[in-house]
Structure 1
Amino acid sequence: MANFPTETHRFQSFDGVELAWTEMGPKDEGARPVVLIHGYFSTAHVNWIKYGHAEKLAARGFRVIMPDLRGHGLSDRPHAPAAYPPDVLMRDGFALIEHLGLTDYDLGGYSLGGRTTLRMLVHGAKPRRAVLCGMGLAGLTDTHGRGTYFRRVLTNLGTFERGSSEWMTEAFLKTTKGDPEALLLILQTFVDTSREEIAAIDLPALVVTGAEDFDNGSAQEVADLLPQGRFVEIPGNHMSAVTRPELGDAIVGFLVD
């Protein structure tokens, strides 16, 4: 596989917060854009570049566009609560698409990125195809439940038993150099999506999850609700599935089908 270089850029979102995105892949007009959104505590680099998923897409001619969510990675990390209104990540997604002038593109994400993708679809995003990874039905319809877990981690750092789920989550936070204060504010941006709203999303959609990933409920149920949903199970749990080559393979297979 060719070694594709990356370029990182910044732009101002709808409210003036500066966000970063990284690109990989061909620059010619024929290169199809695919926007991939990373998960909570993570970054574009960790989710999409580190384990080769973006490179697989670039090798198939895609222009891979990978934003860092506000409060994450190379994007601004404001500490003012006003910078984190409900659904702000969805609005940031639309701001990036408008900034880049994308009209014909694919859209996907992992975990919080998958939920953000779905919120964009609910609010009128029209990609050719969508990919929802590492996100089950409960994580979409009842965001408070998962948010409670992360709030406990972020407000009790350094207290968890080694090897526990909370300890592993905190360890991941340290590897991504996350900002606990900004990440805590991200929790107030979560908005629930109803089953009816999910069932109204009528475009080809791939739902991918690890066989041992139960963090956000059933991904199969999400695929079943989507009129054109397709479910693919890959090895791993919520933390490890994103590192597996099968994730990139599943995304590539769906987008080039």
Structure 2
Amino acid sequence: MNLDPPTFSRFRHDGLELAFFDEGDPAGAPVLLIHGFASTANVNWVYPGWLKTLGDAGYRVIGIDNRGHGASDKPHDPALYHPPAMAGDAAALLDHLGIPDAHVMGYSMGARITAFLAIGHPHRVRSVVFGGLGIGMVDGVGDWDPIAEALLAPALEDVSHDRGRMFRSFADQTKSDRRALAACIMTSRDLLSPEDIGRIDVPALVAVGTKDDIAGSAEALAALMPDARAIDIPGRDHMLAVGDRVFKKAVLEFYAEIDGR
């Protein structure tokens, strides 16, 4: 498999039309990939090589463009971006494809959505991988209000906040709908309690870059779950950890252990 964008299909859920790809071995164990804020299924999973890595390993690889992102509908109402709603989109995609349960991997905001999926629809989740988000899922990840302001600013030159500039530049690079992203960032950061996290009893892997200043401790989050482990992604920050070979190797070993390969 190569790194070219796959063909996307569409389905409807919750009044929205949502885009996804379904690649790899149709008979393989399914892996559902949920991307991060301001990203897309292609940017998060195809271009960094995850689709190729998982496809070459024999998995059925499914990636969704979250509402507000990529080729999916982009409402501007913040009320539509709470994580349980986006987790509902992921569950509805599994319904649409006739898949009873899947390994689910999310990065950053996608990790939060994955957690809400595992808690709200536990029978649909075979395992979870939380990339780019550790104990920040419980404790918070700092002040993101400047990011909404940066997304709505007239131009990048008008943004002085460092993290705001980073995400505004990323949104411009991916030609995103900045109003939809601003709505999303306002409400997609709902926190989970330690008790909520403790209810995730499927095998879990938490992977965070050692230079990530957003995610919080992977070890602290893993300690809250009954069957979880944490790994460090050496020398990587929040943006660069997603495609790292250490991360990919750990995920393949994690899945092989679960699937008995």
Same fold at TM > 0.5: yes
Residue 82 of structure 1, CA deviation = 5.4
Contact 2:109–2:188 (CA under 8 A) maintained in structure 1: no
- Structure 2, unaligned runs of 5 or more: none
- Structure 1, unaligned runs of 5 or more: none
Distance 2:83 2:49 in 1: 32
Map of 1:249 onto structure 2? 249
Question: Structure 1 residues 85, 52: closer, same or farther in 2, change over 3 A?
Answer: closer
Map 1:144-159 to 2 at 5 A: 145-156=142-153, 157-158=155-156, 159=158
Contact 1:48–1:54 (CA under 8 A) maintained in structure 2: yes
Q: Let me know the Cα RMSD of the aligned residues.
A: 2.1
Contact 2:3–2:49 (CA under 8 A) maintained in structure 1: no
Map 1:102-141 to 2 at 5 A: 102-126=99-123, 127-138=125-136, 140-141=137-138
Q: Under a length normalisation based on structure 1, what TM-score does the superposition of the two structures give?
A: 0.89
Q: Secondary structure at the match of 1:20?
A: strand
Percent identity of equivalent pairs: 37
1:85-120, Cα deviation, whole Å (9 max, x unpaired) = 563211111111111121132111000000000011
Q: Under a length normalisation based on structure 2, what TM-score does the superposition of the two structures give?
A: 0.88
Residue 180 of structure 1, CA deviation = 1.2
Map of 1:185 onto structure 2? 183
* Residue identity in the other structure for 1:224: A
Question: Structure 1 residues 111, 104: closer, same or farther in 2, change over 3 A?
Answer: same
Contact 2:86–2:113 (CA under 8 A) maintained in structure 1: yes
Question: Structure 1 residues 55, 144: closer, same or farther in 2, change over 3 A?
Answer: closer
Distance 1:51 1:226 in 2: 28
The number of aligned residues is 251
Contact 1:109–1:133 (CA under 8 A) maintained in structure 2: yes
1:110-136, Cα deviation, whole Å (9 max, x unpaired) = 000000000111113332211000002
* Residue identity in the other structure for 2:88: R
Map 1:232-247 to 2 at 5 A: 232-235=231-234, 236-247=236-247
Is 1:227 equivalent to 2:226 in the alignment?
yes
Is 1:61 equivalent to 2:54 in the alignment?
no
Contact 1:52–1:248 (CA under 8 A) maintained in structure 2: no
Residue 145 of structure 1, CA deviation = 3.8
